Homo-oligomer: A and B are copies of this chain.
């Protein structure tokens, strides 16, 4: 199995990327890693570590997609960037999956235009995870790839993330829910109401609607919504968690008594911080394209990169792409039959 790693993408590239690749090579014995980026820089970094060099390949690239680049333009014009070259490896079958911590929009565009959509899938979706208070996580589908959606899109998101949850996250019978403004059937906007009807007919463990406030309380394994709503949900959770942690820190420093108290609770509070630690959770997959595309967090450290590589391995071993193809073939056939039936 071969995983492509965008060596120059992310806030801590290439140092964390290289260290993450080395740790993955040492830990996962069946993987070969192809790293794209400036050859000299990468070689100097890799020289610092001991690992099986026969399982590493470096492909020299001369450009880097920056966070401030316009996504589609970057993918089209920066042909020799570490991201685009890594995406091409997947497209050409030289790699099974790509991991990148670079520009999210560009990776989405690259997934669509370079790797390509699975036939029948209308809109691929990005699936980040939201940590929950039970130390598990909830998959968000879609987390921001598609701002405007039709019910058909939400059906695809639900089915694809369900496959991913089973195959990559080892959740046996994932609970699938719609993000909504109330728990009862019949709540929500037009999109959600129509999607609800359709989701009931699918072969899924569909548990109905879940309110935004319960996502963090482990109310579901998968939360389905349009990408606009998904982004609002994800960013609110991130924003409030970070802000409350900051407020706590300020509170603990606000008096001498509290400062002493802070010393005593330090060890236990570290566990709380871990709860919000993105490196534990690896990256977000782009589901619905013809290969594994894993978006690691922009601020990924080496542990996050290694975990994203592990995800890419499980994604490949689990035949997620094949399963999605099977689902959409069957679903499209059923939809066609329904349409024909309506005509008669």
Contacts and interface: CB of A to CB of B under 8 A. Distances in A.
Contact of A181 (B232, B264, B271): B232
Contacts of A227: 181
Interface string A222-238: 00001111011111111
B236 A233 contact: yes
Contacts of A212: 231-236, 239
A261 interface: yes
Contact of A241 (B179, B189, B240): B240
A211 to B, nearest CB: 5
Contact of A188 (B147, B181, B237, B248): B147
A265 B251 contact: yes
A272 B228 CA distance: 31
Interface size on A, as a range, is: 35 or more
Interface stretch (A17-25, A92-100, A252-260, A301-309): A252-260
B213 A238 contact: yes
A247 B192 CA distance: 31
B265 A263 contact: no
A268 interface: yes
A1 interface: no
Nearest to A260: B264
B268 A251 contact: yes
Given A189-B148, A228-B181, A264-B258, A133 B246 contact: yes
A228 B265 contact: no
B181 A147 contact: yes
Contacts of A229: 228-229, 232
A239 B216 contact: yes
A275 interface: yes
Nearest to A132: B243
A339 interface: no
